[in-house]
């Protein structure tokens, strides 16, 4: 276990006495939490590292928002088709057509000119290749995929990068086709032993498709998360934002959109990380002992409703059932369920 160093030695932001008190009360809140964090010095260092990352991320966010320019060469696509290949956490997806249900997120998205795999889900069994299994069950040829975009470096979205070496991307001729697929990753510090592309700023993937650029999300006791979402400009409708986990927060996703695009957003699909499930849950920007309630969810809903969007669908992977019900109630005509094996076509 780590031991706490002085602020001068480790360059971490120090805690106030009030923050230390809140931290220790959190550890003492029950036996499970106490077993997680037995070392007081290490727990304090975790909190100090989190505070340091918050300060760094706030500075990066401010600089990026001031520096980034509007996208002028977006282009458009007439076709937008999205099918969840992996999309489950709370068990509110039903098995159909022999399709496997697993944790995490993976969406296949078709446009006029490209087929994009957004995230790769997670396999509890490293030999099951649930992503490939579901593609085969749905009759989708693995060779159709032109691009792989990973939203962020969490295992439930990139499967520990095991798909690089296993049989997920082997075609009918028993050839691994990853070298033919352009791969976009959320960090330049990954050593994947395969050609990949990283851009901190928004980058054009294909005609009518852009990333939103990296937005940092400090998470308590989790390495700093760098996450990117996708934007699809659908002709005669507008831009659909597709998110992975939404650690960036609804607020920052919408603020980044406003910085890049001067037209109203048409839709938002994917994870927004709105977990209302008790004291062990947390959302980007909150500490583990800070409550996140359905009232907070309603505030996020109001931010989105003010955009007058026409399409909304939440990932069941990282939104609790009460959150999803709140969104369905708020958007009775606009809400679309994201179910494994069901095509969403705009």
* Domain ranges within the chain, ordered by starting residue: 7-64, 70-345
- Residue-by-residue DSSP string for 298-338: HHHHHHHHTTT-SEEEE-TTSB-HHHHHHHHHH-TTTB---
Query: In this structure, are residues 100 and 134 in contact, taking their beta carbons and an 8 Å threshold?
Result: yes
Provide the β-strand partners of residue 197.
184
Backbone angles phi, psi at 227, to 5 degrees: -130, 145
Q: What is the pLDDT along the chain (346 residues), one digit of tens a residue?
A: 333 334 445 799 999 999 999 999 989 987 888 888 899 999 999 999 999 999 999 999 999 999 999 999 999 999 999 999 998 743 334 434 444 555 689 999 999 999 999 999 988 766 668 889 889 989 999 999 999 999 999 999 999 999 999 889 999 999 999 999 999 999 999 999 899 999 999 999 999 999 999 999 999 988 999 999 999 999 999 999 999 999 999 999 999 999 999 999 999 999 999 988 765 555 656 888 888 889 999 999 999 999 999 999 999 888 888 999 999 999 999 999 999 999 999 9
In degrees, rounded to 5, the angle at the alpha carbon of residue 259 between the alpha carbons of residues 255 and 263 is 95
Backbone angles phi, psi at 110, to 5 degrees: -110, 135
| The two structure tokens encoding residue 171 | 């075609």
Architecture of domain 70-345: 4-Layer Sandwich (3.60)
Query: In this structure, are residues 77 and 233 in contact, taking their beta carbons and an 8 Å threshold?
Result: yes
- H helical segments located in the chain: 7-10, 17-27, 31-36, 40-67, 130-137, 155-158, 250-260, 294-305, 321-330
Question: Could you tell me the maximum CA-CA distance found in the chain, to the nearest angstrom?
Answer: 64
The structure's pTM equals: 0.93
Query: In this structure, are residues 84 and 338 in contact, taking their beta carbons and an 8 Å threshold?
Result: yes
Kindly give the pairing relationship between strand 230-234 and strand 222-227.
unpaired
Tally of CB atoms within 10 A around 137: 16
Provide the β-strand partners of residue 109.
82, 116
């Amino acid at each position: 276990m780590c031991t706490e160093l002085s602020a001068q030695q480790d360059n971490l932001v120090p805690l106030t006495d009030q923050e230390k008190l809140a931290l220790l009360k959190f550890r003492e809140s029950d036996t499970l939490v106490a077993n997680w964090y037995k070392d007081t010095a290490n727990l304090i260092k975790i909190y100090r590292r989190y505070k340091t990352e918050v300060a760094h991320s706030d500075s990066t966010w401010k600089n990026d928002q001031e520096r980034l320019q509007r996208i002028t060469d977006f282009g458009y696509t007439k076709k937008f088709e999205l099918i969840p290949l992996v999309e489950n956490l709370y068990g509110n997806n039903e098995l159909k057509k022999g399709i496997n249900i697993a944790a995490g997120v993976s969406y296949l998205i078709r446009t006029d000119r490209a087929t994009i795999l957004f995230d790769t889900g997670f396999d509890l069994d490293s030999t099951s290749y649930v992503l490939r299994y579901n593609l085969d069950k749905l009759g989708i040829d693995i060779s159709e995929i032109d691009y792989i975009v990973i939203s962020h470096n969490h295992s439930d979205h990139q499967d520990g990068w095991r798909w690089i070496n296993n049989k997920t991307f082997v075609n009918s001729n028993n050839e691994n086709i990853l070298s033919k697929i352009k791969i976009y990753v959320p960090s330049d510090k990954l050593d994947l032993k395969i050609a990949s592309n990283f851009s901190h700023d928004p980058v054009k993937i294909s005609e009518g498709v852009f990333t939103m650029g990296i937005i940092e999300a400090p998470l308590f006791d989790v390495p700093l998360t760098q996450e990117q979402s996708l934007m699809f400009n659908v002709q005669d409708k507008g831009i659909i934002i597709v998110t992975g986990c939404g650690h960036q927060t609804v607020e920052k996703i919408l603020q980044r959109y406003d910085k890049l695009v001067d037209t109203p957003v048409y839709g938002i699909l994917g994870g927004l990380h709105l977990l209302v499930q008790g004291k062990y849950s947390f959302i980007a920007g909150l500490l583990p002992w800070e409550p996140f309630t359905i009232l907070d969810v309603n505030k996020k809903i109001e931010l989105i409703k003010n955009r007058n969007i026409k399409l909304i669908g939440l990932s069941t992977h990282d939104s609790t059932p009460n959150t999803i019900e709140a969104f369905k109630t708020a958007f009775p005509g606009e809400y679309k369920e994201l179910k494994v094996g069901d095509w969403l076509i705009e």
